[in-house]
Each structure stands twice: as C-alpha cells, then as structure tokens.
Chain A
Amino acid sequence: MARVLLNVPRSAARGEVIEIRALIQHEMETGYRPGANGEVLPRDIIRRFVCRYGNEVVFQAELFPAISANPFISFTTVATESATLTFHWSGDNGFAQTETRVLAVT
C-alpha cells in the first residue's frame, strides 16, 4: 500500500466549494530514464486518478510521465450532501489503490 496524504475537510456547509488535495507515494518512472546498466528503465506510472462523491464521479484525470514523482493533485468539488468520497489511483503493472474519506455536510 502506497502512503498517501489526503486532505479532505471533515465537514462543510451545503453548497460550499471545498478543496481536495491528494498526494500518493509513487516513483512515476517515466520510461525515458536509463538505469545503472545503461538500459532505459520501463515506464511505470500512475495513469488514472478518479474521485467519486458517493456514486458519482466528480473528478478524473489521466496522468502522463510528465507528472512528478509522488503525484500531487488538487481540485475542488461542491459539498452537496453528506457522503463518502472515494479516491482511486491506477496505473502500470497493475497498480491500484483506493482511499475513502467521509464528508459531513450540514
């Protein structure tokens, strides 16, 4: 399990636009870098990040090798109702990780 820093407010007012910041531990090996023996190391990156608010996808992104190691993404979403937010990262070599956070909306 890769380490994550996931910043989601615990609560928000209905209609408030909240900021979500997600950082996950990952090398993001570009596929352009030679290794110790001079041969290019194969690409191994996170390729997709999806955020679901309850059941609805509210943000998704396709990542490319130009995204730095330990990829950081920050985006906003409207706090509509109390729900569980689900964050999913997937990528090369079967990388898959899911995190959830509960948001209380008053």
Chain B
Amino acid sequence: MSERGAPGRWMAGRRGLGGLLAVTLVRPVAAERLPLSEALRSHAGGAAIREGRVTLEIPPLVENGNTVPLLVSVESPMTEADFVRSIAVFNERNPQPNVITAQIGPRAGRARLSTRIRLATSQRIVAVAEMSDGSLWSGSAEVIVTLAACVEG
C-alpha cells in the first residue's frame, strides 16, 4: 500500500456477493509507468521547463478521486505576437502520466482550460505551457485524495 493512500475507486472492480464481499483492488502499477519527470522531459524534448506563469486551481483535498475539477490558467497577453501554444497536464501516480494536452492560440483570448480528472491516489499534478516563443513554463499542485469509507458493492 502506498504511504499516500490506496488506489482510487475507478481502478477497482467490485461485486458484493451477499455477505461475502469479493473485492478486487487493482493497484496502479506505478513502478512500471513512466515517471513524471521522464514524461515532462519527453514532452519538453530536452528543453528547459521553467516554473511560473502557470496556475492550477484544484481542491487540495477531494472527497472522491473519480471526478476532480481542475482549472489551468497561464499568464499571457494572447496576442498574435505572444501567446500560449499548448497546455499539457501530467500526473504523478496514475497508471499513465498524461491527463490532457490542448492546443490553443491567439484566438483563445485567454489561456484557460478547465476539466475534470481522475486521480488514483494522492499525488502531484503538473501543467506545462508552451509559449509562441518556444519557452516552456510549468505550475503544479498537490492533491490529497480520500476514499469513500463504505466500499461499493
């Protein structure tokens, strides 16, 4: 069991068989997946990622890891000369590092992306913004995921 908590509910299949509770918990194979640092390095293509300009709004503690609201916003004038080209979100401990990768541009008006994500367990989320000048900026947030106390049957 990870010290951060057990796998999220969307990972597990459960069948309550009367009084006999058959629970299969599939542990996310964190050891086999690409580490977050590698995923970021691969996305950056070797270029440096600077911290800043990217803000993540996500609840620091969520009641359920199945549907976690996330808002990513990037400081940028979003003009033809200076805009955000893409926003890519990564996770630390799900079976797979990517969450969403969006391409925008000056037509967006603002560099803002909101969605709902799944978190298998408490972990760090990182968002990387690629600017029109090629520079990469990132922001991150830590989320604690609690689980429903009563197991679904």
Q: Report A's interface with B, CB cutoff 8 A.
A: 17-18, 21, 30, 32-36, 38, 40, 53, 56, 58-69, 71-78, 80
**Contact in complex: A64, B98 (CB < 8 Å):** yes
In Å, the complex CA distance between A22 and B15 comes to: 33
Find chain A residues with CB under 8 A from B91 CB: 66
Residue of A32, A69, A76, A80 touching B112 (CB-CB under 8 A): A76
Binding site for A on B (CB under 8 A): 10-13, 15, 24, 26, 28, 66-68, 91, 94-96, 98-105, 107-110, 112-119
Which residues of B have CB within 8 Å of A21?
114
How many residue pairs between the two chains, A and B, have CB atoms under 8 Å in the bound complex? 110
Contact, CB under 8 Å: A77 / B10: no
Known A59-B102, A66-B94; judge A32-B108 contact (CB<8 A). no
Chain B residue contacts of A68, Cβ below 8 A: 66-68, 115-118
Residue of A nearest to B68 (CB): A68
Give chain A nearest CB distance to B13 CB in angstroms: 4
Sample of 13 more A-B contacts, CB < 8 Å, known A56-B107, A66-B100, A74-B114:
A33-B12, A34-B13, A34-B26, A38-B13, A61-B100, A63-B100, A67-B99, A68-B115, A68-B117, A72-B115, A74-B112, A74-B113, A77-B109
Write out the residue numbers on chain A whose beta carbons fall within 8 Å of the beta carbon of B119: 66
CB atoms of B103 and A60 under 8 A apart: yes
Return chain A residues, CB-CB under 8 Å to B15: 36
Q: A17-B110, A34-B26 are in contact. Are A73 and B13 (CB under 8 A)?
A: no
Please list 8 pairs of residues, one from A and one from B, whose beta carbons are closer than 8 Å in the complex, sorted by A's number: A30-B95, A56-B107, A61-B102, A67-B100, A67-B118, A68-B116, A72-B116, A75-B113
